[in-house]
A and B are shown apart, each in its own frame.
Chain A
Amino acid sequence: MMNDIDRNLVTDLAEGLLSGSAAEEATARINSNPELVASYLEQLAVIEHLRSLSPPQMSTKERSALHSNLTKELGFQHNLEPTSKTKRSLWLRPVMGLAAACIFVAAIVVIPSSLTTSSDGTLEVAFVEKQENSDTFSTTTASPAMAGAPPIVEIQPESQPESMPDTPIEEVAASDPGLRSSNILESLLYLTVGATSQDEVNILLAELNPLDLSSLSESSFTECIMEREPDLPNGVQGVLLLGYEELDDLTVAYLGIDLGAGIEKGVALNLSTCEIIDYSY
């Protein structure tokens, strides 16, 4: 079996990155092992195929459309004078304040796994609760019978959006992290749709085990929001934190987007890279 050193050696030689004695040593090393020789020839063959392709080009029509759209946006942007860092969209200001507030306000970290309709027509919330000092999740069903727990959230189905995820999260978590975050985001949105303040969000999610958000980096949160501003829908009036979770190699923040009538849309951000993992808009 080849190791990483051999693979990099083959790649370096195939890329022509080596010269002089280094190239001679690499060639000798590769020639001493038939497996490396085969891999080297294979890499060369693929590189040759790929580099024989001419680059695709835009058609005249496509280029015209691109220029037209960009010209419109260019004029619009300059009318708004957006290039000054001190003139960011107004909605970001409360977000900055919100982020700071969130560090001090106990909030909710929830991973709703399913919503089922009870016999009286209301929705019962079943969720997966993240355990502190544990890498695993345990499933708990929110219920009025839970000791010390406040009454269960009851949401009339007819007042909620129709596009609820219907696959329990734990069934897809292992095989598809993207779908998992999608389910979590949509479940959180389902519970908080219409909320206009962080307090309201916290109340709506109060039945779910609150955790301290102090480990959530304020700077990464606000910087990510600002960085992804162009990717958020138009007309954003505010962003509210719905929850976050720490997985093996990333921290995901779930955010509700207020477009003027409370939370309507949502986005899941990887705070490590500021990438949008999922969105609902």
Chain B
Amino acid sequence: MTDRADRDLALIEKYLTGDHDAFNDLVTAHEERVFAICLRMLHNREAALDATQDTFLTVLRKADSFRGKSAFSTWLYRVTVNTCYDHLRREKRSTSRQIPESYDPSDPRSVDLFDAVEVRQEIEDALSRLSSEFRAAVVLVDLQGISIDQASKILDTPVGTIKSRLFRARRQLALLLGNLRDPSNPLIGDDGE
């Protein structure tokens, strides 16, 4: 296990003995990544914050069911993705779909000065048009830098299926980005599949 995994396991055990601070430490250690996954999945800051909170509430309530067979982060991200799926289903059921809020953070300190906002928005828009399963694979592997093996465990899906989803999702993204950008952009292959 990694140092982080060991620390997480120790924190869970401390929390289960009644140490509130241990849970706070777990939240602090993982909140940014959970929020990032939720925001990429849900494309809406408010919904992402709700999903982040729901994720940690689920972890809070079910901490005793964590067996330590896999890394805490694997379990946490599985809860995160499932929570996002639930939010997406609820959104789908909503009769009046809300217009997504801007991705621009409200806190000036969190503004990324190095991203070209326009390009970033294009990619975010393209991501939001993927199916939730494809999006989850891309978010975990390409955006969060999680290995395909761990993504397979998080999504409870065979490695081969994850690879296939990644391949197809990237192809769709290439097409979407190609449509959004200059048609002469060489991002798209010409294999015509």
Contact = CB atoms under 8 A, between A and B. Distances in A.
Interface of A: 1-2, 4, 7-8, 10-12, 15, 17, 34-35, 38-39, 41-43, 45-47, 49-63, 65-67, 69-71, 73-75, 77-78, 82-85, 178, 182, 229-231, 273, 275-279
Contacts of B65: 85
B191 A34 contact: yes
Interface string B164-193: 101110110110010000000011111101
A3 to B, nearest CB: 11
A73 B168 CA distance: 41
Contacts of B167: 7-8, 10-11, 39, 43
Contacts of B115: 52-54
Nearest to B119: A49
Contacts of A277: 89
Interface residues of B, number: 73
Ranked nearest first, the 7 interchain pairs of A and B with the lowest CB-CB distance are: A59-B107, A38-B189, A42-B189, A57-B110, A50-B142, A46-B170, A35-B191
A53 B63 contact: no
A38 B49 CA distance: 39
A279 B91 CA distance: 12
B36 A70 contact: no
Interface string B136-162: 001001111100100000001000100
B112 A278 contact: no
Contact of B164 (A7, A56, A57): A7
27 contacts: A4-B164, A7-B164, A11-B167, A17-B148, A39-B167, A39-B191, A39-B193, A42-B187, A46-B142, A46-B173, A46-B174, A46-B187, A49-B177, A56-B35, A56-B39, A56-B103, A56-B105, A62-B106, A66-B49, A77-B60, A77-B61, A83-B63, A85-B65, A178-B92, A178-B93, A276-B86, A278-B93
B93 A182 contact: yes
Contacts of A11: 163-164, 166-167
B123 interface: yes
Contacts, number: 174
Nearest to B79: A230
Interface of B: 15-16, 18, 20, 23-24, 27, 31-33, 35-36, 39-40, 45, 49, 52-54, 56-58, 60-65, 82, 85-86, 89-90, 92-93, 103, 105-107, 109-110, 112, 114-115, 119-120, 123, 138, 141-145, 148, 156, 160, 163-164, 166-168, 170-171, 173-174, 177, 186-191, 193
Contacts of B177: 46, 49
A56 to B, nearest CB: 5
A276 B88 CA distance: 11
Contact of B187 (A7, A45, A69): A45
A50 B16 contact: no
A248 to B, nearest CB: 17
User: Which of the listed residues A1, A55, A69, A182 has the most CB atoms from chain B within 10 Å of its own CB?
Assistant: A55
Contacts of A50: 123, 138, 142-143, 173
A47 B89 contact: no
Given A65-B49, A70-B56, A39 B163 contact: no
A42 B188 contact: yes
A176 B143 CA distance: 30
B112 A54 contact: yes
Given A7-B164, A10-B167, A35-B193, 16 more contacts: A4-B160, A11-B166, A34-B191, A39-B191, A45-B174, A46-B142, A47-B142, A51-B143, A56-B110, A57-B32, A57-B36, A66-B27, A67-B24, A77-B61, A230-B61, A276-B86
Contacts of A57: 32, 35-36, 105, 107, 110
